[in-house]
Structure 1
Amino acid sequence: MTTRTLAAIALTTALGSLGFAQIGTPPAPVMAMMGGAGQPPMTGTGAMPGVAGMQMMHSMTDRTFLTMMIPHHQSAIQMSRAILKSTRDPQINTWATQIIADQQREITQMQGLLKEYGGPETGMTPGMLDMAGMVPAGPRSANPDVAYVQAMIPHHGMAVMMATHLLMQSTRPVMQNLARNIIAAQTNEIHAFQQYLNKVR
């Protein structure tokens, strides 16, 4: 898989999650790949049209998924550890604690699986890995608990989209099960987060 293919997967994943969550302006790493804030998207050989980007997503391999999902999980853990230092909301505490436990367990599993492929996907730059783990930008509440939930929804949405593509394409039962588990757990949490926001808005 080429560097351009990996970049397209990262970009399409990020943009897809932004659209899914309807959270406004893409974050700086995405804007940079698109030509910068206030600038037209890249053109020429580096351009990745939306349709082409989605086609690249359809070529995601098990190895690419693992390489990108590990930092994505790590960023969720960092967010959850941060909110645990300040929250007094029992529900937020429960969610953050569970996310840390579940995603750390999956990271350990994915690291073991990745060894079978000889390590992370070759040709993937630090910027691509940063994008895989980024938290999409957008309006956030001044209340840290609410802001955590608002950030976690699109973050989970990105994971669900990546896992759905993996589930459609992988031929390995262990990877299919991993994708199914991520989709099930994180869509349930997205729904719970939305119900929480319905009450506090």
Structure 2
Amino acid sequence: MKKRLTAAFTITTLGTLAFAQTGMTHGGMDHSQMGMGGGMQMTDMMGMMGGLDKLSGKGFDRAFLSMMVPHHQAAVEMSREILKTTRNAQVKTWATSIIKDQNTEIAQMNTLLKSYGGVDSKMAASMKGMMTGMVGDIRKAGPGDKDRAFVKGMVPHHGSALMMANMALMQSQNKDILKLSRDIGRGQAQEIYDFQLWLLK
């Protein structure tokens, strides 16, 4: 139990830092819909989860999967967009990896959702709305700024995934969802770290 809670705390901390360090003021999310103008507080971040933290049992699992699918789809769309223009080898590697890994996880989540009666359309629509504008921010960036817009946008995007994965680690009782959440947490925490180092160059 102690080991699991430590891992969960690490994921939450990394997710929080991802938001705090970027200030959520750069491109990558529709700030008007998410209330992200200026500094980002923990209460704002929890509110962004659409009440996911208040659910339990199968209701939580279904809502979590229904929200994470469009969340992943937004990352795939961003990655496909940047691949149209980038000449940076590292950015190409990240974008290609994101498309591969998150499409694999989307397929897993859609399969799991079948056992819960399908997608929770309300929760899915809520998350899809939150993702509005992410691809547009890359398109609007100047020719020399698109790579940076992509990487900066992926930091808070991954940060919110870490928060959701952490909730699932603590609240789900489904072994497949626990494993999926652990994998999301590990992979995206590492990518946030890599993105931040790249942005500091």
Q: TM-score, normalised by structure 2?
A: 0.72
Q: Report 1 or 2 for greater relative contact order, CA contacts < 8 Å, sequence distance ≥ 6.
A: 2
Matching residue of 1:144:
146
Deviation at 1:29, TM superposition (A): 1.8
**Cα gap change, 1:52/1:173 in structure 2, threshold over 3 Å: closer, same or farther?**
closer
Matching residue of 2:34:
30
Aligned residue identity for 2:87: R
Distance 2:197 2:65 in 1: 30
**Cα gap change, 1:23/1:125 in structure 2, threshold over 3 Å: closer, same or farther?**
closer
Contact 2:158 2:192 in 1 (8 A): yes
Unaligned stretches of 5+ residues in structure 2: 1-15, 38-42
Deviation at 1:63, TM superposition (A): 0.5
Matching residue of 2:83:
84
Contact 1:73 1:133 in 2 (8 A): no
1:185 aligns with 2:183: no
Q: TM-score, normalised by structure 1?
A: 0.72
Per-residue displacement from partner, 1:71-115 (whole Å, max 9, x unpaired)? 000010000001001000000000000000000000000000001
**Cα gap change, 1:86/1:160 in structure 2, threshold over 3 Å: closer, same or farther?**
same
Secondary structure at 1:58 match in 2: helix
**Cα gap change, 1:114/1:133 in structure 2, threshold over 3 Å: closer, same or farther?**
farther
Contact 2:165 2:181 in 1 (8 A): yes
Matching residue of 2:103:
104
Flag the structure with larger Rg: 1
Matching residue of 1:129:
127
Contact 2:52 2:63 in 1 (8 A): no
Of stretches 180-189 and 21-30 in structure 1, the one that deviates more from structure 2 is 21-30
Q: Percent identity?
A: 41
Distance 2:136 2:163 in 1: 18
Matching residue of 2:63:
64
Unaligned stretches of 5+ residues in structure 1: 1-15, 38-48
Matching residue of 1:157:
159
**Cα gap change, 1:88/1:163 in structure 2, threshold over 3 Å: closer, same or farther?**
same
Contact 2:168 2:178 in 1 (8 A): yes
Secondary structure at 2:196 match in 1: helix
